[in-house]
Chain A
Amino acid sequence: ETGVTQTPRHLVMGMTNKKSLKCEQHLGHNAMYWYKQSAKKPLELMFVYSLEERVENNSVPSRFSPECPNSSHLFLHLHTLQPEDSALYLCASSQDKGGHPNTEAFFGQGTRLTVV
């Protein structure tokens, strides 16, 4: 149990579908993240939320839409995806302390997404 739970673990969707990935953290952290992990590529940061406000959006296509309704929950809404969007999507949380020393990020088990 890592304290960060992602659902579903696996998802297969067509290019015209709309689906959502869910992440929940039970660690009392104030920052949450979405990462994309494609085969043989470094983890790519997609979005960062700190205190429920989006503070980073790394040029992610608009077909990915994040939502952070509170500090414990993070969603990634998906629509009209492409086959190249197939990847492992990882959620993470950390206790962001601004200018103070960073703490480690805790990761969920990821959602394995396949776009057909």
Chain B
Amino acid sequence: AQKVTQAQTEISVVEKEDVTLDCVYETRDTTYYLFWYKQPPSGELVFLIRRNSFDEQNEISGRYSWNFQKSTSSFNFTITASQVVDSAVYFCALSVPSGSARQLTFGSGTQLTVLP
């Protein structure tokens, strides 16, 4: 069975601070994908990034960066110089093979509030 743990339920930072959202996962599969999604107040989940289990290179996209470490089963997400518009719930998710269709196992989410 798969499991994704986001231990931080809520985080508050002041604008321009850096913030890291933690994600720890569990799976017995050797092939899997990890995702981060953002859920703004409007409700939809917005895709941010996908990484496969064979690619441990860290990735940077603008103010966003991700640190994937298989040794600790972690896939952490850092926002640099946070902005008020970054306020949202962020979900980490894991995808493994499941027959003819894939499913995502989500963590419980981290509510990020960026204060002006």
Residues in A lying within 8 Å of B, measured CB to CB: 2, 4, 31, 33, 40-43, 45, 48-51, 55-56, 88, 90, 92, 94, 96, 98-99, 101-110, 112
Contact of A102 among B44, B102, B108 (CB under 8 A): B102
A112 and B33 contact, CB distance less than 8 A: no
Is residue B116 within 8 Å, beta carbon to beta carbon, of the partner chain?
Answer: no
Chain B interface, number of residues (Cβ within 8 angstroms): 27
Number of A-B residue pairs, CB cutoff 8 Å, is: 67
Report the 3 A-B pairs with minimum CB-CB distance, sorted nearest first.
A50-B101, A107-B45, A110-B43
B103 and A43 contact, CB distance less than 8 A: no
B106 and A56 contact, CB distance less than 8 A: no
Given contacts A55-B101, A98-B100, contact A42 B107 (CB under 8 A): yes
A31 and B104 contact, CB distance less than 8 A: no
B103 and A2 contact, CB distance less than 8 A: no
Q: In B24-58, which residues have CB < 8 Å from any A CB?
A: 33, 35, 37, 42-47, 50, 52
B33 and A102 contact, CB distance less than 8 A: yes
